[in-house]
Amino acid sequence: MLNRGALRCAVAGALTLTLMACGGQTNETAATTDAATYKDGTYTATTDVFTGADGRDFGYGVATVTITDGKISACTFETYTPEGDLIDENTYSYLTDENLLKMAAEANKANGLYAQDLVDKGDLSQVDIISGATETHEIFDAGITMALEQAKGQ
């Protein structure tokens, strides 16, 4: 015969497993439901100019997302200076500090990596933040969120 402590542990364990199983099904259903609400098409969104914690304007982003069969099938993301110039590998070539130049190059490279990660994972919340490109990720997140809202018809 089980003592009360062992019985409580057994019941708590069974309850935990039951709740975990139900939680997993609920999350999976919610993700499927969200994806099903995307309308096929190509959606483009432009963010506001992003201002960093230090008060500097980093520029803005333009995100384009293509939805096929209710899922993200393609994505592009570009960043622009506050004045509207496309940021590329030459934008910050005037920098003399080697560390800043490297950070600028990594942040620019992150545009394509973030876009590909979104297509691969199909979920914005699963896109990995790249070290040195945190502000770029914040701009990417804002742009993609706006594009996906369009895809939902909102």
Q: Which of 31, 45, 37 is nearest to 69 (CA)?
A: 37
Percent of the chain with pLDDT over 70: 76
Specify the pTM: 0.72
| Orientation of helix 134-151 relative to helix 98-121, angle to 10° | 30
**Is the predicted pLDDT of residue 12 greater than 50, yes or no?**
no
**60-89 pLDDT tens trace:** 999 999 999 999 999 999 999 999 999 988
State the pLDDT at residue 1.
Answer: 44
**126-140 pLDDT tens trace:** 999 998 888 899 999
- Tell me the pLDDT of the chain averaged across its residues: 79
Q: First vs last Cα of the chain: how many Å apart?
A: 60
